[in-house]
Structure 1
Amino acid sequence: MNWEQLLSLKRYGDTHKRLRKEQNETRLGFEVDYDRIIFSSAFRSLQDKTQVIPLSKTDFVHTRLTHSLEVSVVGRSLGRLAGQKILEKHPHLSTIHGYQMNDFGAIVAAASLAHDIGNPPFGHSGEKAIGEYFSHGNGQRFKKQLTATEFQDLAKFEGNANGFKILTENRPGIDGGIRLSYATLGAFTKYPKESLPHKPSINIGDKKFGFFQSEKEIFREVAEELGLSQTRKGDNVGFSRHPLAFLVEAADDICYTIIDFEDGINLGLIDEEYALEYLIKLVKNSINTSKYNSLTNTADRLSYLRALAINTLITEAVEIFLKNEEAILAGEFHKSLFDNSSFEAQIKDIIKISVERIYQSEEVIGKEIAGYKMLTHLLDTYTHAFLPEESDSESNFHKLVKRSVPKLNIAEGQSVYESLLQICSYTASLTDGFTVASFEKYKGFRI
């Protein structure tokens, strides 16, 4: 892989090459990507989707939207710092092609901003609810009408793949989704492979899958334009990660590790005394103890430690990335950046206590159970309304359901797979609050 190709400004439908040196410096193509994501309805819906606590009423707990904004800020710093060194190592990128340090930051920031855009309501519990509706629930009735890979797309429903669908899918009058640059789409895709064959390996890019069968060809086009290294032969699509995807992943890892931990303390789920104990190795070289001791409330002390810890991890992530740049470009680096971190033990300790005290707290589990049941009921309602079994006659209830979801417009002639994926993608687009309202409406609890 080479950086000139990897930094492609091409967008879906382009008939000519976009050259960096011809870009308008007042609004660069990669910055346009960020703007398009910000103004998309899918991004806007993240303001009412779970990050830590579903349906939380407190004023400081992060939603998917605030989390995504923070990840994009960290991602921008990672990209700029890495970009500065990459341009020093490969000066022709700047002198001949016109690339600048900020281009790297803009790509990583945009991809980071969109990294959760395909996630269903109620976090990973929502993702599992959709998948298990097909693998264990009433959705199994469709299995014989699908190919093995189509069924795998549904039974292992993946927010990352749904995000790629949102960003790229053709809709009536809108070709290519929100038409991001291929560089940003490449950096967005952490798992550049289809759902089957599922072969667990040491390669972190094989952990999940990054696109559904419906977007297989557009992903192949993106990968080939970027010059990603192919990892599978024949019709099975799989590629090495875009190098900047490692920085997007690192930005997310930094934010959920440190900021979810901060949220847990602010919520009273984790004692404040753990803050300095768990973060001391990350902040010991930068902390001003006089300033820390002068802060009079928990939120301010946590904010100070969080900022120092994030800065430490940004610096180390860039160092690891640059140290392994050649292996990454060769498609031979198979771990996350923080798997090589000198702070790996501290990161694991923070995640461990966050899992025990936050993600497995009674409040979180209770709301995830409720969310699981609500999403299962919505999928049952939508599939019976839009894809009734042959023995069923269409009821007035199902006609009313169809009219209640105008955005779920399934056209005649669509395959069963396309229809089911559209139902799943629509259900995944719902906010936590709208899911509750829809469930109550269909159950007859709300008028």
Structure 2
Amino acid sequence: MNWEELLSNQRTPEKKTAHEPSRSAFEQDYDRIIFSHPFRRLQDKTQVHPLPEHDFVHTRLTHSLEVSSVGRTLGKRVGEIILERHPGLKSSFSIHDFGAIVAAASLAHDIGNPPFGHSGEDAISGFFKEGSGKQYQSLVNELEWADLTTFEGNAQGFRLFNKERYQGMKLTYATLAAFSKYPRQSIIKSKDPNRRSQKKYGFFQSEKDTFKSIAESTGLIQFEDYSWSRHPLAFLVEAADDICYHLIDLEDGCRLGLVSYEKTVELFANILKERFSLEKLYKIDTINERIGTLRALSVGQLIDECCALFLDKENEIISGEFDISLTDAIPSAGVLNDVIKISIEKIYRSRQVMETEAAGFEVLPGLLEAFTQAAVDLSRNEKASIKNQSLLRLMPPEAILDIKQNKGNSYSVLMSCIDFVSGMTDRHAISLFRKIKGISLPNS
């Protein structure tokens, strides 16, 4: 791989974007994401804790904004040194381009996640794998069935960016490649457990040719059919997410009383090492301010460590040899593992979180059962029952248009239903489920 190709501002196979000094193509990517409907919906999607009575608990939206902020810093810090090492890039690119690519990809990293956090992915997969959605297996091929039974939010995000009717975002190839932490399809012949990039998959069958075009244009290394190396900047997107996810979940857990103040201080102190000062900490008046200050300092420490590791491993990253998470190999990796352990024990398995997950396992399959049956009947030109006619009227016009245009293609029809359900906010999903099940009436 080489940086000239990796920083491609191309948007479609037919068109390359002209460079605008006042607003680069990568900054345009950021703006397009900010103003999109899928991004806006993140304000009402669960991060970890149920959507709060407490205004300081993070949603997917606040998490994504924070990840983007950290990502921009990582990108600019790394970009500054990359440009020094490769002076030929300076005529076309600046540190701001590196920062803008990572910021945009980081901003979008959760955009394909369904309601109810990561349990929503399992709920959608379970509907097809062991629920009433299993009836559709004979209508699709093996790879398409793998997409449905192992629903992946990363692949859904890539799909949203490349659908015609999502405000035509058409992001640059560099941003789309940096967004793709798992550049492979759902089934590959020789999955390597030692490659972080192959842990999950990053695009559905419906977008596999689109990804192939992006991979070829940015010069990603191809391993086998529809499996590639990561774009180097994807490591920074992942690091930004890891930093925010672990440290801010810990901060939220402490504020909610799930993790003790003393334990939280100990963990942050272990990250900061010699930079930690108990004397300075006690000069801060309130516990919440103390925890916020320690979190901010720890974010800075982890940014320093991730940048140093990336730059140290640049050649191995460019050659595709390096393929682990940056936060798994930095000096603070051991402390982050301790944070993960206590988060699993005290935060992710708390009663409120478990109640949210349980709700997701009822609501999402219930919605999918109703809407997939109505959509499949419509696509088969079967006379819809009165019930199904009512359900179809509840779907957005673009979903109905997709279904009608894909008659005879059951996979595309089912994916349109998933687009609809996975794109809902938590509250919309619960409200619609209650209404179609007769549990509540409109405005009740």
Query: For the Cα contact (< 8 Å) 2:406–2:412, is it kept in 1?
Result: no
Paired residue for 1:45?
Answer: 41
Runs (5+) with no aligned partner, structure 2: none
Counterpart-to-counterpart distance in 2, 1:446 and 1:358: 34
Paired residue for 2:387?
Answer: 397
> Cα RMSD between the aligned structures?
1.7
Counterpart-to-counterpart distance in 1, 2:28 and 2:391: 38
- Counterparts in 2 of 1:13 and 1:239: CA distance versus 1, 3 Å: closer
Counterpart-to-counterpart distance in 2, 1:270 and 1:34: 35
Q: Is residue 2:184 matched to residue 1:193?
A: yes
Give deviations 1:342-397, integer Å, cap 9, x for gaps. 11110011111111111111111012101210011000010121114989863211
**Stretch of structure 1 that moved more, 64-73 or 270-279:** 270-279
Counterpart of 1:411 (choices 385, 404, 424) is 404
**Stretch of structure 1 that moved more, 406-415 or 250-259:** 406-415
Counterpart of 1:182 (choices 159, 173, 177) is 173
Counterpart-to-counterpart distance in 2, 1:184 and 1:133: 32
AA in 2 matched with 1:216 = K
Give deviations 1:250-277, integer Å, cap 9, x for gaps. 0000000100000000111111111221
Counterpart of 1:212 (choices 204, 226, 229) is 204
Paired residue for 1:32?
Answer: 28
Secondary structure of the equivalent of 1:284? helix
Q: Is residue 2:142 matched to residue 1:153?
A: no
Secondary structure of the equivalent of 2:99? helix
Query: For the Cα contact (< 8 Å) 2:116–2:357, is it kept in 1?
Result: yes
Secondary structure of the equivalent of 2:428? helix
Identity of aligned residues (%): 47
Q: Compute the displacement of 1:406 (Å).
A: 2.4
Give deviations 1:89-140, integer Å, cap 9, x for gaps. 111100xx32111110110000000000000000110010001111111111
Paired residue for 2:75?
Answer: 79
Paired residue for 1:361?
Answer: 350
TM-score, normalised with respect to structure 1 = 0.94
Q: Compute the displacement of 1:284 (Å).
A: 3.0
Counterpart-to-counterpart distance in 2, 1:391 and 1:118: 30
**Stretch of structure 1 that moved more, 407-416 or 358-367:** 407-416
Q: Is residue 2:248 matched to residue 1:259?
A: yes
Consecutive aligned runs of 4 or more in structure 1 exceeding 3 Å deviation: 287-291, 388-393
Q: Is residue 2:88 matched to residue 1:92?
A: yes
Counterpart-to-counterpart distance in 2, 1:78 and 1:412: 43
Give deviations 1:148-182, integer Å, cap 9, x for gaps. 0000001000000000000112239x6xx401110
Query: For the Cα contact (< 8 Å) 1:437–1:446, is it kept in 2?
Result: no
Q: Is residue 2:436 matched to residue 1:446?
A: no
Query: For the Cα contact (< 8 Å) 1:79–1:104, is it kept in 2?
Result: yes
Q: Compute the displacement of 1:417 (Å).
A: 0.1
The residue correspondences of 1:8-27 to structure 2 (distance < 5 A) are 8-12=8-12, 14-15=14-15, 17-18=16-17, 23-27=19-23
Counterpart-to-counterpart distance in 2, 1:411 and 1:298: 57
AA in 1 matched with 2:164 = N
Query: For the Cα contact (< 8 Å) 2:46–2:115, is it kept in 1?
Result: yes
Name the count of aligned residue pairs: 435
Query: For the Cα contact (< 8 Å) 2:51–2:59, is it kept in 1?
Result: no
Query: For the Cα contact (< 8 Å) 1:55–1:433, is it kept in 2?
Result: no
Counterpart-to-counterpart distance in 1, 2:318 and 2:273: 34
Counterpart-to-counterpart distance in 1, 2:143 and 2:59: 32
Q: Is residue 2:341 matched to residue 1:352?
A: yes
